[in-house]
Structure 1
Amino acid sequence: MSQPPAYPLPRTGIGVDVHAWAPEGDDRPLWLGCVPWPGERGVVGHSDGDVAAHAACNALLSAAGLGDLGSVFGTDRPEMAGASGRKMLEHVRGLLEAQGWTIGNVVVQLVARRPRIGPRRAEMEEAMSAALGGASVSVSAATTDGLGFVGRTEGLVGLATALVARA
């Protein structure tokens, strides 16, 4: 039988979030990566619908074994209506720290046909990192080459991984 490691191993988590685009003419703002996207149509959601921040929250909660977005910020909680992705990331960071976890890094990939992420990638990484107390955040993007609900521009997806370790 093997011996447990002399030091605690880091843990990884994955997270996903999906939101449908709001109907044409809806005045909801789009938030991605904790930054507003003026001129872009927003998404339907109980909170601000920031799929990048929400996927990161799911990945962090998963890595620390603390549940998921629904169990922490359920849609049955009226105080979460319109909640910002930044506040959600800050709250999740606090939950992890209270349990003795430190965040190593978070990687987020957005899957959507719009908006173009490249020109604002650094701004998103900085904003999400600030919400996570300076943890390293990387953002990338992909399309589906016109396939599926993303290709039909019905919605967008955030996928994330996170690495945490005992403080």
Structure 2
Amino acid sequence: MKFSALFLILLFTLTGCGFRPLYKQPSSNTSTPFLLEVRGNNDEAYGTYKFKQELQPLISHINNPAIYKIVITLNESFGDIGYASDASPLRSQGRIVAMVEIYDANRQLIYQNRLDSVSSYTTDISEEFSNLNAKMATRERLMISLAQDVARSIQVAVNGDLTKES
């Protein structure tokens, strides 16, 4: 009984201060023949982690000697877009922008593209937990959708201009 009470106190203390466990990479992680760097300028590291985990299997089969490094910078923004007559938010929107840059072995920029993904969700002023869940679910959907768009963009770039000799 003493152990479980101590465990609960420790759990609530760590949860209250924003403790988040480190995310372990899956053991079946596929490697790519180029460097992949995903940067996020947000406070939520999980979004960047989720995006990279969704993107890696989609681009692991790309093998183009012209590609040395792919850098993707993510920018997340969430805000209210619809208000009730009492100025309480009714609808919120999330937008994630990805700036994709592909570099060759000489570190010269050979491809650049900007992609974004937008979604909205309803909010209820009296349901903070539901609003947080809706925001997290929207972030997950946006990351998955954006990873697919970025993979498609990289594939088009690799099969298009990057395979031609300059």
The normalised TM-score by structure 2 is 0.33
Q: Which has the higher contact order (CA 8 A, sep 6+)?
A: 1
Greater Rg over alpha carbons, structure: 2
